[in-house]
Structure 1
Amino acid sequence: MRVAVVGLMAALVVVFGVSAFGKARSRAALRGFTASLRGWRVVPGPLVAPVAVVVVGLEVTIVAGALVSLVVPGAAGRVCAAVTSGLAAVLLAALSVGIALALRRGPGATCACFGATERPLTPGHLVRDVVLATACAAGVALALAAGDAPAEPAGVAVAVFAGAVAGLLVARLDDLIDLFSPRPAGRGR
């Protein structure tokens, strides 16, 4: 069970690390995320910018918590993993509600979820966040149920690698979908 938690923590480091970096790498990137969030029309206007900053701050906190949980042994590491997973689940659930409300209002909302590019908000974004939130909620239970015995180093290495790859796939899912989607006729490559 501990190896599954290690894999989840590695995935969270990558997913939330890419997301936070994409949004916080420059003022323009943060403004882009804020504008995207404003377009969802789920947060009152004056609160959009503070909410955007809080989201980025929570993402950084999740990355830090996941990293700490990977290096701190025993019960303290398990508790850190559980708290980090819980925080990630709550953030993802809140984002999922926001996405669902924005989708319900109709087309036009965009997602600057990972900060690099803005794309139309789709049900795929909602599915991604719900699946991640569910995995994080399960991570809370797994972390609390895991024993204090250290996992085998080979298992930890495989879990970190697999989690990091899974996290990268999640973070770049929109790019992968674009890559393999048919392009309309006449559009350049």
Structure 2
Amino acid sequence: MRGPLRLLREVQGDLPRWLRLPGDHLLLLVVSVPGGHSHRARPVPRHVQSGRGAAVVYLAIGVQCLLGTVFVVSSWAKLVGRNSFREFVTSVDDLGLLPIRWVRPVACLVVGGELGVCGLLLVRAVDVAYLLAVFLLIAFATAIALTRRRGVSATCRCFGASTAPFGPRHIVRNGVLAAAALVAAFGPQTTARAGAGGTAVAMLAGLLVGVVVVTLDDILDVLRPSPVRPWPSTGTRSRAHG
């Protein structure tokens, strides 16, 4: 405060007596000017900062559980059972996008990549898991789009045996999952800590959304109205007896 007060007093010395201010008025003027020490920017309250940071943490936890559920079920369905992997290899060949000699190696890479995402999430290498998941999901969406563009009718065996043909919903599903992984990977960073209750809710939400994603084809089959079949005719022709 001494600097501004001294400067004002020097300026007042050159003014007429009737324009000079008392010392207490000078002090009030100094602490009231914009940019003075009394107008410091107010920090964001701690509870607001922690609330925003916790929301980011809970979002990341939910995305991790979502991706973990999807890729665990996907890889499990391709490996469990005597013919599961063989049928998956056949479905890859049905896409008609690869030479026959590349079909089985690519199928192995797909399953290995899905298991890799699960393993990276378990060891907390989440950033690498996000990027690997994005790569796989974009590759899946691209393969489906190319298959549909070529007019090839192929079924979705992403989560085991299914009779549902590839459609726009499968492209959208993979795109939404890839977007969620990108948001979690490159979203705002925070050092906030998640509470036990919020963590449980985020994990449950991610698990439930993952179950919906995995069973989406079955859900749509149940909700799709069945075709109306005509009632059989109950009338009988009269036969003439001679």
Work out whether the TM-score is over 0.5: yes
Runs of 4+ in 1 over 3 A off after TM superposition: none
Distance 2:193 2:120 in 1: 19
Q: Structure 2: which 5+ runs fail to align?
A: 1-55, 230-242
Moved more, 21-30 or 94-103: 21-30
CA apart distance, 1:68: 2.7
TM-score, reference length from structure 1: 0.87
Determine if contact 2:74/2:158 at 8 Å carries over to the other structure: yes
The alignment covers a number of residue pairs equal to 175
Distance 1:19 1:121 in 2: 16
Letter in 1 for 2:73: V
* Matching residue of 2:154: 109
CA apart distance, 1:107: 4.1
The match for 1:50 among 105, 109, 113 is 105
Q: How does 1:40-189 map to 2 (within 5 A)?
A: 40-69=95-124, 80-142=125-187, 145-186=188-229
Distance 2:122 2:214 in 1: 18
Q: Structure 1: which 5+ runs fail to align?
A: 70-79
Letter in 1 for 2:137: L
CA apart distance, 1:55: 0.6
Greater gyration radius: 2
Deviations 1:13-41 (A, max 9, x none): 11111111011112411111111111111
Distance 1:118 1:43 in 2: 22
Determine if contact 1:9/1:67 at 8 Å carries over to the other structure: no
* Matching residue of 2:78: 23
| Greater helix share, structure number | 1
Question: Could you say which structure has the greater relative contact order, defined with CA pairs below 8 angstroms and 6 or more residues apart?
Answer: 1
TM-score, reference length from structure 2: 0.69
Distance 1:93 1:174 in 2: 20
Determine if contact 2:155/2:165 at 8 Å carries over to the other structure: yes
